Structures are given as C-alpha cells and as structure tokens.
Amino acid sequence: MLDLLLVSLGVLFALLVVAALITLYVQDVTQEKHAVLRNFPLVGHLRYFFESLGEYFRQYFFLGDREEQPFDRATRSWVYRMAKNEGGIIGFGSTYPIHEPGALVFVNAPFPILDDEQQEPPPLLIGEGYCPTPFVGKSLVNISAMSFGAISRPAVRALSRGAAAAGCWLDTGEGGLSSYHLEGGCDIIFQVGTAKYGVRDEGGQLSDARLRELATHAAVRAFEIKLSQGAKPGKGGVLPGNKVSAEIAGIRGIPVGRDSLSPNRHPEIGNIDQLLDRVEHIRA
C-alpha cells in the first residue's frame, strides 16, 4: 500500500513538472520581449541564470587581485583587515603595478629619516592675504567631494570621524551639509555646486542668508565652488525624484519626491571675471 502511494505521488509530481514546463514553453514562444527565450524556449532561461552569476564568478574565480575597479581585491582585503584591527602592515609583492602611471613607488634613500626625526607637515593656508581668517589646513592629503545621498549615512559618519582622527578635512560634495558631516568634529569644506544645494533659495539661486548660516558653523572652514559636473564633463546631473527623501530634500533645499537638475555650469559664471566676482561675493 505504501509503495503504491509513493508511486502515485511520484507520478503526480512528474505530471506537475511536465505541466509547468509546458506552461513555461508556451509563455516563452508567445512573448515578444526577449528574443533569446522566443528562439530558445526553456533553454534560454539558462542564459539569464548564468549571466546573473557572471559577476560573482569573475570576482571570486577569474579576476586577479589587481584587476577590479575602482577598488581591487587586494585593496579591499587591506581595508577589511584595518576595519577589524588586524593590522595594515603587508609585504611588498610583485602584484602591485609599479610601472603604471600614478603608481606609488618608494625610492631608495642612502640616509632615510628616522622616526624621531620626523616633523609635522607645514600648514596649508587657504585664503591667506585675501580674508581676515584664512583656513589653516593641517594635511596635504584630504577627503575629496562625495555627497550625502550619493553615499549613505554610515559612510558620511565614518568619513567624518576618520577625517578628525587623521587631522584632514572632509569635502561635503555638492549635496549640502548634513548633521552626519559634523558628527566627527573634523574640518569641513562646503562645496557650492551648480545646483547650489544647501545654499539655494526657493528659486534655486544662491542664498546669502544660507551662506551666512553655514559660516556660523565652527567646523565649516572654507567654501569650494564646483565649476561643472566632474563625473559628467559638459553635461548636467539629474537626481531622480524617487531618491529625494524628506531628509535629503531638507538638506539640499529642494522639493520632496521631485527630480532635481544640476546644470552643467553656474549660469552666472561664464568667464574668469565672473568667477572672481562670485569668489569675492561668497567670501564677503
């Protein structure tokens, strides 16, 4: 009796599988969206399956330690070790592309500097001779512009705390100044982008009142004018409305849930004289 029941269940399962395959076959040959599935019903699904796995196979099996961009496997491994306090001291190996342009190369020195002979780097004065309180930069190596919204809340917090620990400054990017930039207590460079996020009025023009408000933050040490879209030269940027949350809208000064455009340049800055006038205006 038990054997008969098992056979019946097996037959029923086989019929269900056949019915599902027939249904999927009919769907494939009648749909007009995917040519692969129409020409190769059933089997064509394997193509999309393996395509979805391709990224993972390349990452873990085929790509070398120095082949990925913007951060290769060797760099990520070093970051992971540092994050776990496992130490960042690694041996110099031949996998590093020392012959590529821009590679970091340590040149031999007959009389290298000892640890107790090292000195602090000279301060970098920004605005010296042009404003009453120039910004004294503590480091020549700093954190470049990355907007909140383009990177996450934890990322901005981590960069703020890291910049404070390293004694360098953090550039806000064109996305405006959030409370997360200020949490670490680092020096802040506020970037005035072409859309003037964070320092714009309701009409999208530069707001002197917002500039003065930002200047009251002790952490905001300087302003930076972004002339154009660095990642999209000659083109403007678009922030889709589905990414404009209430928090991002409040920080940037734009409506919630609506697309926001960043022009390819400041409309009021069309030549060097106008640029200098804008620098003087913001500084004042």
Distance of CA 160 to the CA centre of its chain: 15
Q: Are 173 and 230 spatial neighbours (Cβ–Cβ below 8 Å)?
A: no
Is the pLDDT reported for residue 1 higher than 70? no
Is the pLDDT reported for residue 179 higher than 90? yes
- For the chain, give every domain's residue range: 14-83, 122-283
Confidence of residue 93 (pLDDT cuts 50, 70, 90): low
Average pLDDT over residues 168-175: 94
* Token couple for 103: 């590679």
- Strand pairing class (124-126; 135-137): antiparallel
- Strand pairing class (260-262; 237-239): antiparallel
Average pLDDT over residues 7-12: 77
What is the model's pTM?
0.70
Nearest to 166 by CA among 138, 125, 127: 138
